[in-house]
Amino acid sequence: MTQLPYRAVIVDLDRTLLRTDKSISGYARQVLCEWEARGSRLYAATARPERAIGEYRRIIPFRSVVTLNGARIITPAGVAENPVSPDSAAFLLEQLCRIEGAVISVETGNGIYANTDIPDWQPKVMEDVRILPESEKIYKILASHPSMKTDVLTIEAPEDVYSTVAEQTLIQYMSRNATKWNGIRLALQEDRISAEQAICFGDDNDDIEPIRMCGCGVAVSNALEEVKRIADAVADSNDSDGVAKYLAGLLQYEKRCPAEKGIEAMKK
């Protein structure tokens, strides 16, 4: 049996492992499960909350999951959290609520709230989301606008908060400690796996740091151009099972030293 070139496989979900219709193909499941059966650890790193990935965890044996961009990390050892402080959350929501027409949602310890209905997310709709920091643990604040670009939603952020744009339409505000890479690093450390021994797949801004930091970083072909530019390799698109195809190809490789790994990946 061939030696696996990486001890950990890290995958983003939406627009990376998942097809556009949010499904995982039988082929992708088979390949990932083969890696797990041969001894590799599987991790998911996603912007989704834990409640929105249960279906995928039932069919893919993810050992650890980084959710809400790193605001909540679930590993065999337990749960680690990086919420936004109440004062910072209140400061952000006060500003966002002044923007007419802004769609504001808030991920909390008790689910998602929003100032209007968002059918795909099914939030608890409330008239004034500004009161949430008084009683809820805030993991993430999200904002979009039906007719304006995301730059109108760029507000003043406290020092302990950063923002990132998802799918070019949604601004996310999170604690500076809540990043995918911080969550991935924690999961790897618990399993005593170095970053060099991990391969990471992604498509969006939040995936840039882990793609850079892991031993091999792969962008799917539908990824943002800036993600593809920094990746070691570009796989096929999410709708063409790019992650699975790339991993299936690696199963054919004999073990290579780290110096050879990057050259081979770029040739694919």
Domain end (from 175, 195, 224): 175
pLDDT in tens, the chain (268 residues): 557 899 999 999 999 999 999 999 999 999 999 999 999 999 999 999 999 999 999 999 999 999 999 999 999 999 999 999 999 999 999 999 999 999 999 999 999 999 999 998 999 999 999 999 999 999 999 999 988 888 777 789 999 999 988 878 899 999 999 999 999 999 999 999 999 999 999 999 999 999 999 999 999 999 999 999 999 999 999 999 999 999 999 987 533 433 333 323 332 2
Q: Give a yes or no: residue 35 inside a domain.
A: yes
Q: Is the domain of 205 the same as that of 74?
A: yes
199 and 228 part of one domain: yes
Residues 39 and 58 grouped into a single domain = yes
Are 171 and 235 in the same domain? no
- φ and ψ at residue 169, rounded to 5 degrees: -130, -15
Please report the pLDDT score of residue 2 as a whole number.
57
Provide the 10 A C-beta neighbour count for residue 245. 15
240 within domain boundaries: yes
CB-CB contact of 40 with 7 (8 Å) = yes
Is 219 within the bounds of a domain?
A: yes
Q: Which of 175, 191, 224 is the last residue of a domain?
A: 175
Q: Are 102 and 145 in contact (CB under 8 A)?
A: yes
Q: Is residue 234 part of a domain?
A: yes
Q: What domain count does the chain have?
A: 2
Beta bridge partners of 125: 114
Residue 200 lies in a domain: yes
Task: Supply the pLDDT for residue 259.
Answer: 33
Residue 1 located in a structural domain = no
Q: How far is CA 86 from CA 6, 104, 161, in A?
A: 40, 17, 11
Shared-domain flag, residues 55 and 94: no
Q: Using an 8 Å Cβ cutoff, are 195 and 240 in contact?
A: no
Is 3 within the bounds of a domain? no
Among the candidates 175, 190, 223, a domain finishes at: 175
Residue-range definition of the domain harbouring residue 130: 86-175
- Residues 103 and 123 both lie in one domain: yes
Residue 2 lies inside a defined structural domain of this protein: no
Distance of CA 210 to the CA centre of its chain: 10
Q: At 221, which CATH number?
A: 3.40.50.1000
pLDDT of 257? 32
Residues 50 and 102 in one domain: no
Q: Do residues 201 and 218 make contact, with C-beta atoms less than 8 angstroms apart?
A: yes
**Residues 140 and 191 grouped into a single domain:** no
Say whether both 90 and 222 belong to one domain: no
**Claim to verify: residue 218 and residue 251 sit in the same structural domain:** yes
Q: CATH code at 157?
A: 3.30.1240.10
